[in-house]
A and B are shown apart, each in its own frame.
Chain A
Amino acid sequence: MYNKKVLEVFQNPKNVGEIDDANGIGKVGNASCGDIMQVSLKIENDIIVDAKFKTFGCAAAIATSSTATEMIKGKTLDEALKVKNADVVEYLEGLPPQKIHCSVMAEEAIQAAIEDYKKNHAKK
């Protein structure tokens, strides 16, 4: 049910881990639902200089986490917020219908991490 591209990314995911001095962290999902995605970001001057993920979930969850974090690296926050789940799916050359929600979670995890950063760095 997975295409070659998804399996390839699943087998060799990029950006696995946590950033020690992250300034934006987003976590979505829960273990009883079967998937959790955690994204940590290092943001400097509104630019995402590093992004890492840790994911509890299926092959699609891991592949979309890798893809989404890879897509936002080097982007400004505004650009990163424009990365949608459809872009992740397109990069992976498609996902089985019942796994589309994994790409949605990846988008949400990134948004949550950016929101976390914005909250911490709100103009005082």
Chain B
Amino acid sequence: MKIYLDNSATTSLDGEVLQAMLPYFTDMYGNSSSLHGFGRESLNAVDNAREKIAKILGAKPSEIYFTSGGVESNNWALKGAVAAAKGRNKHIITSAIEHPAIIETCHSLEKDGVEVTYIPVNSDGIVSLENIKAAVREDTVLVSIMTANNEIGSIQPVAEIGAFCREEGIPFHTDAVQAIDSQYIDVDKMNIDMLSLSAHKFHGPKGIGLLYIRSGVRLKRLLDGGHQERGQRAGTTNVPLVVGMAKALELSAANRANYNKKLTKLRDYFIDRALQEIPFTHLNGGRENRLPNNINLSFEFIEGESILMVLDLEGIAVSSGSACSSGALEASHVILALGGREELAHSSIRFSLGRDTTKEELDITLEVLKKAVDRLRGMSPLFNVEKGTGSYV
């Protein structure tokens, strides 16, 4: 038995997406920058993909730039905006719960003298517009707030932030990598100036993503080389992956309402049962404004990775904290930002559901989880099995 509940880490490749890509791995291998027929065939596919994607996002095709994924898009948005901005002092506003692709880019920029304000979140993991307003300075060159958080699924008030930034004339970037599969996004209506996406989070291929850049936004390119992507992103266009991303986004948008309905129900079912049936369990993040596929729970007195490993030995795939930091010993910066006890940050597990997740799978997971938690608490010096309670003192 295998149960995959780590869809926020990556998703399966959709069969239709694979079929759409295959011809571009085999027969149609032309370089889309070449002038001849082989090239034109590939360029045609890239143009179609760009148009489809632009339409779904409410953008113009010329505002879509293909990249290698979320990390590149986020690096480009931040470093490119800073490099293009005038003035000696430069300031960025972001949130305390961004993905490492943003946080680490900010840390790198800080070493170069850029000042960064990390806006805190409330106990539900939501940024407040008021705090962003208060942080704006003369030299603020960019506001970057994620659309939804990857660990706890908290959905940020991106449209409000976008409207405010538009009024202030500050470019607004959002990392929508984790949100796009379930959230409707229209860059015009939401006043988004830049947006990062990665295809493998919505059943597309790995290694491809995009940065939407509103025309008129000043951004320095990261890569020097060929003239691809209107001279802004050098490198031979990865035609099959571009085609795959467009197909995946098309399918995601078309099925969004159905999946959201199904997943919200499954998510709430799992959260309710876990909180009721497993003592000393906490939900990280709020119930409202939460991605329909995200469940993040802390199980007191035991450590997250050990829970993950017990579940893994039973064939159930989950994540502790963020997948990227599971090799590190630091507690999740996201859970810590919620303001709860530090111990709880070490005890968190993310269950991220997918379009194929079933209620039966969740029932099995709950049974395995209950046993795992009991077993690990039995080994924990913080828990007294006879009394059925624990203490961190």
- Interfacial residues, chain A to chain B (CB-CB below 8 A): 1-2, 7, 10-11, 13, 16, 27, 31-38, 53-59, 61-62, 96, 98, 101
Neighbouring A residues of B378 by C-beta, 8 Å: 16
| Chain B positions 373-391 with a Cβ under 8 Å from a chain A Cβ | 378-382
Please, how many residues of chain B have a CB less than 8 angstroms from a CB on the other chain? 21
B357-384, CB under 8 A of A: which get 1 and which 0?
A: 0000000000000000000001111100
Tell me whether A31 and B392 are in contact (CB under 8 A). Answer: yes
In the assembled complex, how far is the CB of residue B318 from the closest CB belonging to chain A, in whole angstroms? Answer: 14
B169 within 8 A of A: no
Given contacts A7-B313, A10-B306, A31-B343, 8 further A-B contacts (CB under 8 A): A2-B309, A32-B342, A34-B329, A38-B381, A54-B380, A55-B381, A56-B301, A59-B305
Once A11-B313, A31-B382, A36-B382 are accepted as A-B contacts, the answer to whether A57 and B303 lie under 8 Å apart by CB is: yes
B-side contacts of A38, CB under 8 Å: 381
Does B180 interact with chain A (Cβ within 8 Å)?
Answer: no
Is A59 in contact with B379, judged by CB distance below 8 angstroms?
no
- Residues of the A chain whose Cβ atoms lie less than 8 Å from the Cβ of B331: 34
Whether A98 contacts B327 by the Cβ 8 Å rule is yes
B284-319 at interface with A (beta carbon < 8 Å): 301-303, 305-306, 309-310, 313
Contact A55 B328 (CB under 8 A): no
The 9 A-B pairs with the shortest beta carbon distances in the complex, nearest first, are A54-B381, A38-B381, A58-B305, A59-B309, A34-B346, A32-B342, A31-B343, A56-B380, A31-B392
Chain B positions near chain A (C-beta within 8 angstroms): 301-303, 305-306, 309-310, 313, 327-329, 331, 342-343, 346, 378-382, 392
Contacting residues, chain A, for B313 (C-beta < 8 A) = 7, 11
Output the least CB separation between B267 and chain A (Å).
27
**Is A7 in contact with B380, judged by CB distance below 8 angstroms?**
no
A35 nearest in chain B by CB position: B303
- Number of contacts between A and B (CB, 8 Å)? 61
In the complex, chain B residues whose CB is within 8 Å of the CB of A27: 381
Kindly state the separation between the CA atoms of A38 and B328 in the bound complex, as whole angstroms: 23
Please give me the residue from chain A that is nearest to B343 by CB atom. A31
List the A side residues contacting B342 at CB < 8 Å: 31-32
| Residue contact B309 to A55, C-beta cutoff 8 Å | no
Q: Once the chains are docked, how many angstroms separate the CA of A44 from the CA of B172?
A: 70
* B306, B378, B392: most-surrounded residue (chain A CB, <10 A): B306
B344 to chain A, nearest CB (A): 10
Bound CA span A38–B379, Å: 10
CB distance from A108 to the nearest CB of B (A): 15
Known: A13-B379, A31-B343. A59 touches B306 (CB 8 A): yes
- Are B327 and A1 within 8 A (Cβ)? yes
Bound form: Cα–Cα A110–B303 in Å: 21
Interface centre among B302, B328, B329, B381 (most CB of A within 10 A): B381
**A7-B309, A7-B313 known; A56 and B328 CB under 8 Å?**
no
B343 pairs with A96, CB closer than 8 A: no
CB contacts (< 8 Å) of B329 on chain A: these are 33-34, 98, 101
Complex Cα spacing A37 to B302, Å: 12
In Å, the complex CA distance between A53 and B382 comes to 12
CB distance from B392 to the nearest CB of A (A): 5
- Given A11-B313, A34-B346, decide whether A61 and B303 contact each other with a Cβ distance below 8 A: yes
Q: Chain B residue with minimal CB distance to A32?
A: B342
Could you tell me if B303 and A58 are in contact, using CB atoms closer than 8 angstroms? yes
Among A2, A33, A34, A101, the one with the most B-chain Cβ atoms within 10 Å of its Cβ is A34
Q: Chain B residues near A54 (CB, 8 Å)?
A: 379-381
Q: Given A16-B378, A34-B346, A56-B303, do A10 and B327 touch, yes or no (CB 8 Å)?
A: no
Residue among A11, A36, A57, A61 with the highest chain B CB neighbour number at 10 A: A57
Point out the residue from B309, B310, B327, B381 that lies within 8 Å of A56, measured CB to CB. B381
How far, in angstroms, from A66 to B159 measured CA to CA in the complex? 53
Q: Identify which of B302, B303, B328, B379 contacts A16 (C-beta below 8 A).
A: B379
Q: How far is the CA of A31 from the CA of B310 in the complex (A)?
A: 20
A96 and B327 form a contact (CB under 8 A):
yes
Closest to A101 in B: B329
State A38–B301 Cα separation when bound (angstroms). 14
Question: Which residue of chain B has the shortest Cβ distance to A65 in the bound complex?
Answer: B379
Contact A57 B306 (CB under 8 A): yes
Q: How far is the CA of A20 from the CA of B60 in the complex (A)?
A: 72
Asked if A58 contacts B306 (CB within 8 A), the reply is: yes
Cα distance, A10 to B303, chains bound together (Å):
13
A62 contacts B306, C-beta separation under 8 Å: yes
- Nearest CB of chain A from residue B48's CB, rounded to whole Å: 41
Residues of A with C-beta under 8 A to B380: 54-56
A105–B258 CA distance with the chains assembled, in angstroms = 50
Task: Show 19 residue pairs from A and B whose CB-CB distance is below 8 angstroms, ordered by the A residue.
Answer: A7-B309, A7-B313, A11-B310, A27-B381, A32-B342, A32-B343, A34-B303, A34-B329, A38-B381, A54-B380, A54-B381, A55-B380, A56-B303, A56-B380, A56-B382, A57-B303, A58-B306, A62-B306, A98-B329
